[in-house]
Structure formats: C-alpha cells, structure tokens
Structure 1
C-alpha cells in the first residue's frame, strides 16, 4: 500500500475491507471505552484522526460517541491522494470531515482538537517523521493523544496470516498486514523512544497504545519535570532498521 505504483482497484478493495479487519483486531471499542469516553465533559467534542486511510476508524469513533449521546466532530486527514479519492467516493456522513493534508499543516493553521488519534501509522514512519508526528500531536491535542499500533509477536503474525489467508482475498490486507507486524514496535521499544510525558499501554489483540495526556503533561511541567532530551537521536538508530526487522516477541 505504501507503493505509489500499487494497483489502485486492489488498494480500494483493501480500504473497503478495513472496517472488517480493524473491527476484529484494532480494538477501538476497548480504547474508546477506556480512554476517550471517560474524558468527555459535555455533549460536543472534537477529534482528529491522523493517517485515516479509508476513514473507517474515524467513522467508528463518531458512531460510538453518538450512541453515548455525544456529538463528536471528527476531522480525518491523510496526505495520500489515493486515500482522499477513496473517501470522496463514500456516502457523506454528517460530523465526519475528510482532508488531504498532514498534521504539520494543521499545526500551521493553529488548529486544535480535544482528541488526536491514529491507527497503524507509527510503524510506517521514518525516525524524523515519527518525531514530527509526536510533536504535532502534542500541539494539536487539548486533552488526549492515542496512537494505536500493532504489537510485534510471533503468535500474532501466525494467527493473522492464517485468518487473512481465508477471509481476505484480492486485496493487500494479508500481505501488508504481515509486513506491518514485522515492522511494528514492542512496548519496550516504544518506552525507549517516546518522550517522558508519553505512556505506553498494552491492549488485547496484540495492540500497543502510545498515549499523551495533556492534563497530566501540565502536572509534570508544574512539578518541574522535563521532556526527554534528544528524542530524535534516540529514534534514528531504532527506526533505521525497522523495515528489515524480522525478529518478534514470543
């Protein structure tokens, strides 16, 4: 899917299958109930979805909030023109807006949101890109950032390969998913590279959440804490070998 020359109909079929596969493995229902819903303080909030792809996570979070009586205005962004073309082909949903742009462009605009999330984005990024997205996320979020990603395990690799070989055909779901598992982080690796104001949380279905709580960050600063130094210098050695990393946690 990262290949700009990949087959477009196959890519669009992959986007169309994302609601199913993410509904099975991404765990956003759990994340919403544990991390997002408890931070609602009224009946209207805003959320940014970075790297939205086919937009399924943005729509799912909007739907979950609506069931709780909360209007969640969702902005879903992706710089890839192919993703933009796909979401333009979808039925319009009131409360969900798609934009072809980057998080840094929103920072330049002075935009802010109550919540900032991403799904399966971090492992795709180079070291400088990862550092930039983390910094942008802190600037864009008034309350909470959650970057949800795959946790690299041998068991997850085997199970994902077996299930997707049967259920998902004529798309990139299986091939790209297996590559993503190999490239993804272990919780310990994320703890080594994230700024100290971020925390790492493991979640069922081989998930890892990188979380920044704006309120908690203010408490740390008030108490004299400091952001971890030289974040990018720590990130660069780890990320430079990420694409070729094949070993996994048992």
Structure 2
C-alpha cells in the first residue's frame, strides 16, 4: 500500500527498466512484441483514431500522420489497419530516436503506408515537414519540463496549417494503479512472462501526471482532455 499512497505526488526519479541501455535484449524484444496487445486494452487508441484522425482523412487524397516515440510501431500499424477498413488513404510516419526500437520495428513485416524513421520531432519540424495529425502514446511521462515544452513547440510547427496534435498518456491515480496491477497479475507467468510490461507499466503510472499537473505546464493554445481508462490527452488545434 506504500506504493499506492505515494501516488499523491509524481515520482519522476523512477526509471523504467526498458529505458536502461543495458537491459536484457530478449526481454526488450518481448516487451515490444506485447505492446500491441497491451495498448489495445489500456490506451484506447481506437478512440483517438475516431475522434481526431478519421474525420481528417480522405478516400481520394493521402493524409500524413506523425507518431512521435513510436517504439515498436504497434499504434501506427493499428491506425493504418483502421483507415484501410474505412476506405481512407493514410500514411503514418513513425519516429523514435532509440536505435533498439527502430531496429525491432524495422524487422517486422512491412505494412503499406508505414514509414519508419529514427529521428526526433525537432528534426522533422526543422525540415519543414507538415502533418494532418501529430500524435504520441505514453511519451509525456518520460519527459522533463524542458523536453515537454520542446515537444509541444515541435508539434505546433508540424501540425500548423489546419492540423491537430494529440499526445495521450496515463493519468496517475490510485484506481489506475490498482487496476493495472490487478489486471496484469494473472498474466505475469504466461502472456507477459519474460517482458518488462508489468513492472514498467506500474513505474509509468507513478511517473505520470494528473490532469491538473499537466494543465499547469501547458503553453497557450493547449488543453487537457480526460479519456477512458485513466487517460489524458494534451490537445492543440482540432475542434475542442
């Protein structure tokens, strides 16, 4: 219960095991492989697609979406799958500066419309690239205040001209922590065995923000929306 009580304050001193460059490569690979299954339950990316991305897509012209910190690129693959099912044309540029993530994603079967790049958002913004939507999933809790400000500034440049930026993350709460701890416990010896999913998921929740904390850090033009389950969306542009 001490860990649950500690959720009153964000603990940004914690480091996720998979962020250690010396972490076990086999466990890291299994973690990337399991992200798709886990994100389908805890991230509600289908809601992000329906609200923010699908209304901006076209059946005749290809739109571009940027996924920042894409990891193993499970979210971009899901976005492309949903767009294809809806008869809409989409290209997703998935970027991550971590060579381990880029290498794992590059070894997976190719998907039409998926572009993998080992890059930072600032590199694309400096190059003058533009996107219909700029998104991220579970990135914000990794960032300090300076890094968060830089990502938001890059997102504005990348989405300007009518685009939208939506950065989704966990909302720190006792309910979310207990829900993830209890929900993943039965799968620890089987589906999640040999990965960092459960340990790093709990660490992520303790590193994450509340809605009020994030709102106090945002520059003008940005807003926080709550989602389900225990989700926050930091949004710029769009229709509110």
Could you say whether these structures have the same fold, taking a TM-score greater than 0.5 normalized by the shorter chain as the test? yes
Which of 185, 195, 207 lines up with 1:183 in the alignment?
207
Matched-pair contact (CA < 8 Å) for 1:141–1:214: no
Matched, 1:7 2:24: yes
Measure how far apart 1:214 and its partner are.
6.2
Identify the match of residue 27 of structure 1 among 44, 47, 53: 44
Deviation for aligned residue 1:107: 1.2
Q: Does 1:53 align with 2:65?
A: no
Counterpart in the other structure of 2:129: 111
Partner in structure 2 of residue 138 of structure 1? 156
1:35, CA displacement in angstroms? 2.2
Task: Report if aligned partners of 1:48, 1:77 keep a CA contact under 8 Å in 2.
Answer: yes
TM-score of the pair, normalised by structure 1: 0.83
Q: CA deviation at 1:24?
A: 0.5
Q: Cα offset for 1:109? A: 1.3
Q: Any idea what the Cα deviations from partners look like across 1:224-245, whole Å, max 9, x if unmatched?
A: xxxxxxxxxxxxxxxxxxxxxx
Is this contact kept in 1: 2:52–2:238, CA < 8 A?
A: no
Aligned partner of 2:219 in structure 1 is: 195
User: What SS class does the counterpart of residue 209 from structure 1 fall into?
Assistant: strand
Residue 173, structure 1, aligned to residue 197, structure 2:
yes
Unaligned 5+ runs, structure 1 = 217-250
Q: Which runs of 5+ in 2 are unaligned?
A: 1-17
SS state at 1:75 partner: strand
Hey, which bits of structure 1, 4+ residues long, moved more than 2 A?
Answer: 38-44
Give the match's secondary structure for 2:234: strand
> What CA deviation, in whole Å up to 9, does each residue of 1:198-221 have, x standing for no partner?
1111011110000110688xxxxx
Q: Give the secondary structure class of the aligned counterpart of 2:19.
A: coil
* Residue 99 of structure 2, aligned match among 72, 76, 81: 81
* Structure-to-structure mapping, 1:147-226, within 5 angstroms: 147-167=167-187, 168-213=192-237
* Structure 1 Cα separation of the partners of residues 128 and 195 of structure 2: 38
State how many pairs are aligned. Answer: 216
Contact 2:136 2:168 in 1 (8 A): yes
Q: Summarize deviations over 1:1-37 as a string: whole Å, max 9, x none.
A: 1111111110110000000000011001112112222
Residue deviations 1:101-139 (CA, integer Å, cap 9, x gap): 100111121111111000000000122111111100110
Name which structure has the greater RCO, CA cutoff 8 Å, separation 6+: 2
Note if contact 1:138-1:214 (Cα within 8 Å) is conserved in structure 2.
Answer: no
Counterparts of 1:195 and 1:126, CA distance in 2: 15
